[in-house]
Structure 1
């Protein structure tokens, strides 16, 4: 599918409150098959989904350690996860230390997911993900681990006010760019 047709279809799914504010842009085109172009999602004419832009207000992580040490990321630990650490420890471990160990495991997994998601943000992958978004149910896009699918679903008109307001807890574990679009959509309700 051509870029202009894909863009037209994506903008057709935008929430009415965000029409004219959110825009899909591709200022560069691919001339060589092995070279990817640039693609942005912009809000109010500012490029938001662009990892290379240092003036961007969204935080882009450089390492997994940076994610693990980010005080804004709060990872909840369930009793099952604490119990799994207890059984793996093979000996008596204080309860507070078990919680720290479980949170460390979860933060490592979370960091790997965020770094992987950041690495896929190039134009060719955006087009593949956008085509996938157009052919899959909106629920799958909301639950996906793919940041672009999450963003496209959050600005979609098929996601209503009640569902948006009920997602607050899930959004705490998402990448800052997904949180940005969540807050944008919540603010437009």
Structure 2
């Protein structure tokens, strides 16, 4: 599908309060095929989401240790997580230590998922992911590990107010760019 038709379809699915605020931009270089074009998203005419650009203001983590050391990251730990650690470690570990171990395990798992998602995203072609989004159900896009699919689904008009409000805890475990678009959409309700 050519870019103009794809852009028209993507913009047709935008949540009405975000139409005109969120834009899909693509650049290409006709006479220099060795130079790849760029695709990015803007919010209020400000470039917000470009995988290759370090000036977007969204933090792209370089390593698992950076994620684990991020003080802004708040990972909720459930009682099930604590029970799993208790089962693995035995009854000799104090309760407060179980919470620390459970949080560390969850944080490590989250960090690995985050790095894997960023790596896949930097290799992905925007057009391919957008085509996938247009052919999948909205539920599949929201549940996907792909950051760009999550972003496209969050600004979609087919995602209702109740579903957006119910996602709050799940969004804490997503990449900062997904959280940014979630807050944008939630504020537009």
- Tell me the C-alpha RMSD between the 2 structures: 2.0
Please, what TM-score do these two structures have when normalized by structure 2?
Answer: 0.89
Structure 2: unaligned runs, 5 residues or longer: none
**Shift of residue 98 of structure 1?**
1.3
2:48 is matched with which residue?
48
Q: Which residue is 1:119 aligned to? A: 119
Q: How does 1:21-40 map to 2 (within 5 A)?
A: 21-28=21-28, 31-32=33-34, 37-40=37-40
TM superposition score normalised by structure 1: 0.89
Pairing 1:141–2:141 present: yes
Is 86-95 or 174-183 further displaced after alignment? 86-95
SS of equivalent residue, structure 1 residue 120: helix
- Identify which range, 48-57 or 162-171, moves more after superposition: 48-57
Whether 2:160 is the aligned partner of 1:160: answer: yes
Change (3 A) 1:183 1:125: same
- Report the more deviating stretch, 48-57 or 6-15: 48-57
Match in the other structure for 1:175: 175
Return the alpha-carbon distance in structure 2 between the equivalents of residues 74 and 109 of structure 1: 14
Number of aligned residue pairs: 187
Distance 2:160 2:41 in 1: 21
Determine helix, strand or coil for the equivalent of 2:27: coil
Partners in 1 of 2:146 and 2:127 — Cα distance?
13
Unaligned runs of 5+ in 1: none
